[in-house]
Amino acid sequence: MSAVILHGRTVVPGIAEGEALVSHEPISAWGGIDPARGVIIERRHELYGVCFTGKVLVFPSAKGSSGWAGFFQTTRLTGTAPIGMVIGRISAKSALGAVVTRVPAITDLDADPCEVIDTGDWLLLGNSTVEVTKR
């Protein structure tokens, strides 16, 4: 199995390895996730009803309320957090969100991660790179 390596910028340092969950749509936290269950609850979202706990969450950007980071911090405190984040376009919401979730996170990649990575791919995050092994 050949791996693709994407190069980017570290948002939160550290190494994480696991299965990708890819959202092609921005993620909303307040009114968009249930931190008690680690599930996307935005009704029209492509990942409606899907659990991100224990996955590397790959998404283009954060949208919606300024409570974004607080909701993801709650996933850490309740044990439902993702294990890493790959962020297409960074913003104050997603940067703070990754920091307070305290999981390795990367942005500014040399290819669109939401196109290159598919849900179920195996990812290794670390040293400003994402190693993608197709499932």
Partner 1 sequence: MFLTDAEKAMRDGAEGPAVAAAMDLLLRYGAALDAARLCDIRNVAGTMTQPSPVKARLVKEHGWDKAFAVINLDSDGDFEIPPMAVPTCQLQHGFGADALGIVPYPKENIELQASGEAFYGRHGVNILATCTPYQVGNLPMRGEHCAWMESSAVIYANSVLGARTNCEGIASTGAASLTGKIPCWGNHLDANRYGTHLVDVRVQVDSFQDWGMLGYFAGGVAGEDHPVITGSIGQPDLTDLKHFGAAAATSGGVELYHIPGITPEMPTAEAAFGGAAPPPAAVYGPAERRAVYETLNEIGTSADVDFVLLGCPHASVDQIRSAAAALDGKRLSPSTELWIMAPRALKDVADRSGYTEVIQRAGGRVLADSCPAMSRAAPKGTKVFATDSAKQAHYLPAILGIEAWFGTLEECVDAAVTGRWNGGLR
Chain positions contacting partner 1, by CB under 8 A: 9, 11-12, 26, 31, 36, 41-43, 61-70, 73-74, 77-78, 89-93, 95-100, 102, 105
Closest CB 18 distance from partner 1, rounded Å = 20
Closest CB 65 distance from partner 1, rounded Å = 6
Nearer to partner 1, 60 or 121 (CB): 60
SS (H, E, C) the chain: CCEEEEECEEEECCCEEEEEEECCCCEECCCCEECCCCEECCCCCCCCCCECCCCEEEECCEECCCCHHHHHHHHHHHCCCCCEEEECCCCHHHHHHHHHHCCCEEECCCCCHHHHCCCCCEEEEECCEEEEECC
Nearer to partner 1, 51 or 96 (CB): 96
Closest CB 3 distance from partner 1, rounded Å = 26
The verdict on whether 65 is a catalytic residue reads yes
Give the active site residues.
65
